[in-house]
């Protein structure tokens, strides 16, 4: 064991958004909860690790190479850990760690290499304190959810109220993540995403109804609110979002359809006089299995109704707009175009508006602090 040096105690901690704005060759120190951790082997059969760390503001993914240092910090002392055999390393997901790293370039994109890992006191730095949460207040989202239920007719509204509130579905649905990464991967992300999709779908449906299309608003609202219901079994919070076994081997589309149809049958037994019409239930179920829009993205069937087409488009739009917002928020200075984003196969552009141009201060010569 060795005593901690003063500079290590006072090391400046950066947030994940600050780290993602750093340029090549910059060094940093970040503290957060591990949401993904996996050991790999390089071409020489040497171990390295893929890791994703989350703080309250975002997350970053990076690599820990075989020559990195691993430390366990306990009070004012620290000791080295063996990353292959130490039990604390084996169960690192869901634990708080400090990571010292450097920004490097790989295939023309920034990559984060961590050269020192610090397993910190979990009582002093509890993992749940670093879990990112939806920026939208929970009360505001619940109010918006209840308002959307009122768009439905009585039979569909009663079914949705039974499912979410009488059956206590809400207690999980309102805090669950929508993903482990990519989009809305934080506490409350599933509800935030579902509300955005539903609002967009309702607006699109109203537009096409005004144009003469027969669109069933009950099916649109129910399908949009429930389209990702399978994610309740696909992910878990421990305390950061992570994939379940069922999520890995079955996926949320199949899990969601099965859960939905089971609940429809249960509701019919309990409320025979108000049970959901079989064809309308099937129309909602069709949205659940087709909302990814194509088989390449996991949907076993393609959207085949106006309602399913509308929800699928709204779902894809919310995903891409979320990615745009996340990626363009990292741009600094005069830069308008992001790095290439593999998940959406494009770079994003954040054009400066005329208002921003007018309000932009006149450039001055820079001085070091």
Residue 336: inside a domain? no
150 and 89 share one domain = no
Task: Give me the pLDDT at residue 109, please.
Answer: 79
Residue 185: inside a domain? yes
Number of domain units in the chain = 2
Quote the distance between the C-alpha of residue 344 and its chain's center. 15
67 and 174 share one domain = no
126 and 176 share one domain = no
205 and 76 share one domain = no
**Cα–Cα distance, 177 to 234 (Å, whole number):** 10
CATH code of the domain covering residue 114: 2.40.50.140
Residue 4's nearest CA partner among 77, 63, 59 is 77
Residue 354: inside a domain? no
Residue 309: inside a domain? yes
Task: Give me the pLDDT at residue 174, please.
Answer: 92
**Cα–Cα distance, 219 to 176 (Å, whole number):** 23
197 and 152 share one domain = yes
Task: Give me the pLDDT at residue 353, please.
Answer: 65
Task: Give me the pLDDT at residue 365, please.
Answer: 35
Task: Give me the pLDDT at residue 11, please.
Answer: 66
118 and 208 share one domain = no
Task: Give me the pLDDT at residue 36, please.
Answer: 87
Residue 277: inside a domain? yes
Task: Give me the pLDDT at residue 366, please.
Answer: 31
Per-residue pLDDT of the chain (369 residues; tens, 9 = 90+): 454 453 444 468 999 989 988 888 999 999 999 988 988 988 888 889 999 998 988 889 999 998 999 999 887 788 898 888 888 788 888 899 999 999 998 877 788 999 999 999 988 898 888 888 999 999 999 999 999 999 999 999 999 999 999 887 898 999 999 998 889 989 999 999 999 999 999 999 999 999 999 999 999 999 999 999 999 999 988 888 888 999 999 999 999 999 999 999 999 988 776 778 899 999 999 999 999 988 888 899 999 999 999 999 999 999 999 999 988 988 877 889 998 888 888 999 998 764 565 555 543 333 323
CATH code of the domain covering residue 283: 1.10.3210
Domain boundary among 92, 112, 130: 130
Domain boundary among 285, 307, 324: 324
Residue 86: inside a domain? yes
43 and 96 share one domain = yes
Task: Give me the pLDDT at residue 333, please.
Answer: 76
- Calculate ∠ Cα 203-279-165, nearest 5°: 65
Task: Give me the pLDDT at residue 360, please.
Answer: 53
281 and 143 share one domain = yes
Domain boundary among 306, 324, 342: 324
Residue 178: inside a domain? yes
183 and 212 share one domain = yes
Task: Give me the pLDDT at residue 86, please.
Answer: 81
Find out whether 310 and 215 touch, Cβ atoms under 8 Å: yes
pTM of the model: 0.79
Contacts with 155 (C-beta within 8 Å, 6 or more apart), sequence order: 218, 274, 276, 277
78 and 209 share one domain = no
What is the extent of the structural domain holding 224? 138-324
Residue 33's nearest CA partner among 129, 133, 176 is 129
115 and 148 share one domain = no
252 and 155 share one domain = yes
Residue 355: inside a domain? no
């Amino acid at each position: 064991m060795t005593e901690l040096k003063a500079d290590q105690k006072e090391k400046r901690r950066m947030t994940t958004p600050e780290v993602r704005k750093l340029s090549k060759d910059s060094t940093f120190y970040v503290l957060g909860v591990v949401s993904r951790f996996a050991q790999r082997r390089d071409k020489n059969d040497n171990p390295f690790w893929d890791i994703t760390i989350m703080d309250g503001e975002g997350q970053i993914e990076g690599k820990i190479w075989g020559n990195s240092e691993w430390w366990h910090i306990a009070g004012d002392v620290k000791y080295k850990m063996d990353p292959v055999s130490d039990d604390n390393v084996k169960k690192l997901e869901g634990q708080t760690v400090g990571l010292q790293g450097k920004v490097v370039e790989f295939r023309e994109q920034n990559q984060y290499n961590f050269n020192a890992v610090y397993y910190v006191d979990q009582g002093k730095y509890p993992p749940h304190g670093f879990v990112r949460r939806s920026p939208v207040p929970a009360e505001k989202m619940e109010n918006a959810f209840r308002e959307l239920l009122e768009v439905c007719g009585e039979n569909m509204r009663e079914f949705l109220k039974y499912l979410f509130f009488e059956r206590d579905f809400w207690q999980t649905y309102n805090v669950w993540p929508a993903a482990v990464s990519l989009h809305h991967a934080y506490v409350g992300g599933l509800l935030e995403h579902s509300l955005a999709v539903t609002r967009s779908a309702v607006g699109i449906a109203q537009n096409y109804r005004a144009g003469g299309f027969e669109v069933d608003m009950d099916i649109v609202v129910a399908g949009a609110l429930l389209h990702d219901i399978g994610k309740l079994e696909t992910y878990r919070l421990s305390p950061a979002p992570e994939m379940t076994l069922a999520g890995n081997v079955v996926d949320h589309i199949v899990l969601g359809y099965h859960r939905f149809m089971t609940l429809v049958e249960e509701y019919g037994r309990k409320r025979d006089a108000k049970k959901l019409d079989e064809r309308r239930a099937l129309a909602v179920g069709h949205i659940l299995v087709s909302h990814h829009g194509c088989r390449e993205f996991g949907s076993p069937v393609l959207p085949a109704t106006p309602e399913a087409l509308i929800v699928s488009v709204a779902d894809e739009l919310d995903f891409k707009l979320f990615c745009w917002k996340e990626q363009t928020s990292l741009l600094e200075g005069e830069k308008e175009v992001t790095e290439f984003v593999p998940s959406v196969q494009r770079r994003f552009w954040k054009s400066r508006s005329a208002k921003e141009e007018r309000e932009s201060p006149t450039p001055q010569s820079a001085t070091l602090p």
